[in-house]
């Protein structure tokens, strides 16, 4: 099989041939049909030397190709995927309480084991996500990271239908978050720099759009009553900090972005009105199933650009430069 691997820190991908792996006990082998290219893949360029060669890819969609001993619930030919959450131990305190996201030994697909930038991969059976047959594989792939992260962050906060919700950023995560927020029944505000994405934001389901480079945008949002949840999807520390000023009483900033600089929060702004700030982790495989089912039901799709495996470096560099509209996906030929 062909794989795209990193041979050391800060190196480009190299296409090499490897033996197709056999699944061990409690593992399944997946014939990969598509795999998204995510900003989090950049983490694999900063691993310790002894972790190379590494094969990233945590937005994997394909079909079960082989099943290891002890695996139940999965069948050969079934459409499946693997997301960021790549397995858990079941025996630590968090797992015993059902909090698999905070497992002390949590695995990450593409870091703990080789990911989806390969024609075949193996994964623990508890990391596998059932994918609806009706979903196109290339369009389903980003739902297992960008999709699950934004959908999960919105649905797990106490937001009544009709409440005002703000989505900061109309990019790789934001363009999906706007769709989810609309279909969950919220009044949606889209926030971005400049006017060039206003039309797209409205097409995706935003009811309001505000250019955050203009004076007075915060006052305009607060004139609508302030937001119950402000979801930060773009990694700009200053822009995320500004979200605290548009919260309604008991409102919350939920951050799924990871800016390089610290986010500053004024305690006085938060204390008055009982406001809060929360970080949000992606989600577990069952959350991935909820995300793909909801996306199918509501017709939610990512905007994607597809590439063959041989163009992985082009796809990665364009994504890192912020020039992809909006998710890059590696597609494997039949």
* pTM of the predicted structure, to 2 decimals: 0.97
Please give the mean pLDDT across all residues of the chain.
97
The tokens describing 155, both together, are 């649905």
Residue 277, classed as helix, strand or coil, is: strand
Domains observed in the chain? 2-144+283-331 (3.90.180.10), 148-279 (3.40.50.720)
pLDDT value of position 29: 98
Backbone torsions φ then ψ of 15, nearest 5 degrees: -85, 120
- State how far the Cα of 152 lies from the Cα of 316, in Å rounded to an integer: 26
> ω into residue 307 within 30 of 0, thus cis?
no
Per-residue burial over 15-27, b = 16 or more CB atoms within 10 Å of its CB, e = otherwise:
eeeeeebebeeeb
Task: Please count the helices (runs of H) and the strands (runs of E) in the chain.
Answer: 10, 15
Residue 295, pLDDT > 90, answer yes
pLDDT value of position 334: 63
Per-residue burial over 284-314, b = 16 or more CB atoms within 10 Å of its CB, e = otherwise:
bbebbbbbbebbbeeebbbbbbebebebbee
- State how far the Cα of 18 lies from the Cα of 136, in Å rounded to an integer: 27
- State how far the Cα of 8 lies from the Cα of 255, in Å rounded to an integer: 31
- State how far the Cα of 29 lies from the Cα of 19, in Å rounded to an integer: 13
pLDDT, tens digit, 9 for 90 and up, residues 118-160: 999 999 999 999 999 999 999 999 999 999 999 999 999 989 9
Residue 333, pLDDT > 90, answer no
């Amino acid at each position: 099989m062909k794989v795209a691997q990193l041979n050391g820190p800060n190196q480009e991908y190299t296409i090499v041939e490897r033996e197709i792996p056999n699944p061990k006990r409690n593992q399944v082998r997946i014939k990969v049909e598509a795999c998204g290219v995510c900003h989090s893949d950049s983490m694999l360029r900063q691993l310790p030397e002894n972790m190379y060669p590494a094969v990233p890819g945590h937005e994997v969609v394909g079909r079960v190709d082989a099943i290891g001993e002890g695996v139940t619930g999965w069948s050969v030919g079934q459409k499946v995927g693997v997301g960021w959450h790549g397995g858990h131990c079941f025996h630590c305190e968090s797992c015993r309480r059902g909090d698999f996201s905070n497992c002390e030994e949590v695995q990450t697909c593409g870091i703990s084991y080789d990911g989806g930038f390969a024609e075949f991969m193996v994964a623990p059976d508890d990391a596998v996500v059932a994918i609806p047959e009706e979903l196109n594989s290339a369009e389903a792939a980003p739902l297992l990271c960008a999709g699950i992260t934004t959908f999960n962050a919105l649905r797990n906060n106490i937001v009544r239908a009709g409440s005002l919700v703000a989505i900061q950023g109309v990019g790789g995560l934001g363009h999906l978050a706007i769709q989810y927020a609309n279909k969950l029944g919220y009044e949606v505000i889209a926030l971005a720099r400049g006017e060039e994405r206003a039309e797209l934001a409205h097409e995706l389901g935003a009811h309001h759009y505000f250019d955050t480079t203009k004076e007075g945008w915060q006052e305009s949002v607060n004139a609508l009553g302030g937001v119950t949840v402000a979801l930060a999807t773009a990694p700009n520390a200053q822009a995320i900090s500004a979200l605290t000023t548009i919260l309604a009483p008991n409102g919350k900033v939920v951050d799924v972005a990871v800016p390089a600089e610290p986010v500053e929060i004024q305690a006085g702004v938060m204390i008055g009105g009982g406001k809060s700030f929360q970080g949000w982790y992606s989600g577990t495989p069952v959350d991935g199933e909820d995300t793909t089912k909801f996306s199918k039901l509501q017709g939610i799709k990512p905007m994607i650009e597809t590439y063959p495996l041989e163009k992985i470096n082009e796809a990665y560099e364009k994504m890192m430069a912020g020039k992809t509209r909006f998710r890059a996906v590696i597609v494997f030929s039949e």
